[in-house]
A and B are shown apart, each in its own frame.
Chain A
């Protein structure tokens, strides 16, 4: 009985998330028959994959009890640097992608080192990263840089047809990253250490787990994910600008929270994050189909749903009020 209860409490947020998504999708399909099509679902994927890629990295960070506010800025910086390298400096596109991924990884490692070695709170360290990345975008250019390179255009316009619908290459990137992340988090020593740090860092340290190395690795991984999301974003937008993805860090964090990951750390699933992203992606589509509601309702509804999930976590007694 107790075992059952524990199981229930552990998976309730995840079940609630998947349930809510199915409910939303079903109700909307009944209300608007046109909504229930393969292409609408595929577009949901096509439009939100950079959020998912970034949210995968964020899941690791939040499970370890940290937070990263720099992700959206790193996405913008990646798009900006890609555009700058390819268009202005004529660097080979594939080399560019490698370079920007390296840049994101190094940025993440830097913030991780600040957090680990100097004991700077993750909130502050990543806030610095956020300012730095946005600022660097504007140092490169205050204007849009449009990517005209044929290889970038070819990838961005590539369509993979499945049944009646099509998906973009971004979706493939995200769905390759997803199982890798699930494997890393649930089936490796590194993943278990992430959970242990989130559960209780001091205990993890006393158990002899490599806390310092793992923490830096978590932020490094998240930096890489942000840069990968930025590469996907540069295909999506085919340009770079300093204000791209503004405010998306909240969307990423909210997706992870909706996916059943506890903000206090120690509990969470990468799969839940996928559904968190899908719920967030569905809201604007529903509002678009509904027609009379204006687009700004999206933000209000996202806020309310996030509140619902956080209060539910709180009601389950899983979070506490420590910052």
Chain B
């Protein structure tokens, strides 16, 4: 009994509890509705199954949401990740395939291709970072510019066509397997570890959270606020670059118009689902990974249940709605008796309820 209580309290204190509950709910639904969802079989030494599929297909989104987490934690937002995905894919396809129609050869050595695509994407992130930190534009607007112009740049590279990549080593990035698992899983793990090390084993994470809470106070306490902001946008561009390589490798082509479509919104949604507030401050990298997995499982589930996949946008809207309603102080206050019954199950919930009690008549400015 004691163990159970301790477990409950630990779960109540963790930011990851609610995203985990959401993910498990989706899994539970599948368990009853479609048990074969959980079957994993071995084909040619590789693992296959819906769960592996979710990990593989969710990889670009997980990468984007890692980058987005840091940006949102500084109180910013990056709307340009979708077009940057398209730019990175277009660059790679252009360098490989220009004039090698239908042949399994490349014009540029593969390491150089990857380096160039990542460099261009990182430069896009750097541009956003400069606009936000040096010119001092609002993040929504600064990244909106690259969001508008970015698709044009991608189309410029592909000359408005869909470039097909026939060079098979390039396909490995998105479709290959390593140690029986999809290669993309290792890419995501590597980036996650890198980010985790940067933010949790150096002071950077603390700086980011501090800037998210109050950037001018951070500046006056000696944090080089501008450089940290520059760095997070650059990292977000870098993540979008890797995602762009994966996406273009998966579909074996670069499509300037449709690659990364809606990705920026999905990434923001994943971060919010993962428990990072859009106001900035505390963030959770693991939460964002969970958030991305929730979105991907939801998509896969909706596909497999046979609901028209287009409906997913309505479902997503309802899910965000539910999340932001639960995050809203006003809503919690208005529906306290109902939500209170749920929240009082955990210690964190109880402390949330305590902080929610506003004196009557005060306007809650968040």
Contact = CB atoms under 8 A, between A and B. Distances in A.
Contacts of B221: none
Interface residues of B, dominant DSSP:
helix
A321 B136 contact: yes
B324 interface: yes
23 contacts: A118-B325, A119-B329, A119-B366, A120-B324, A123-B77, A132-B317, A135-B316, A138-B313, A139-B308, A242-B310, A263-B138, A294-B159, A295-B160, A296-B156, A296-B256, A298-B152, A306-B144, A306-B145, A307-B145, A311-B135, A320-B136, A321-B136, A323-B75
A117 B147 CA distance: 31
Interface of A: 67, 117-121, 123-125, 127-132, 134-136, 138-139, 142, 202, 205, 242, 247, 250-251, 253-254, 257, 263-264, 294-300, 302-304, 306-307, 310-311, 314, 319-323
Given A67-B140, A131-B265, A303-B145, A294 B310 contact: no
Contacts of B331: 118
B136 A302 contact: no
B274 interface: no
B330 A263 contact: no
Contact of B328 (A120, A136, A296): A120
A127 B268 CA distance: 10
Interface in B18-72: none
A143 B313 CA distance: 16
- Top-3 shortest CB links A-B: A303-B149, A299-B152, A138-B310
A318 B70 CA distance: 28
B89 interface: no
Q: Interface centre among B75, B147, B151, B317, by most A CB within 10 Å?
A: B317
A127 B76 contact: no
Contacts of A205: 363
B325 A294 contact: no
Interface string B315-332: 111001100110011110
Contacts of A298: 152
B364 A119 contact: yes
Given A138-B311, A139-B311, A310 B141 contact: yes
Nearest to A306: B145
Given A119-B364, A131-B265, A295-B160, A323 B313 contact: no
B137 A119 contact: no
Contacts of A128: 317, 320-321, 324
A297 B151 CA distance: 10
Given A119-B330, A254-B148, A135 B308 contact: no
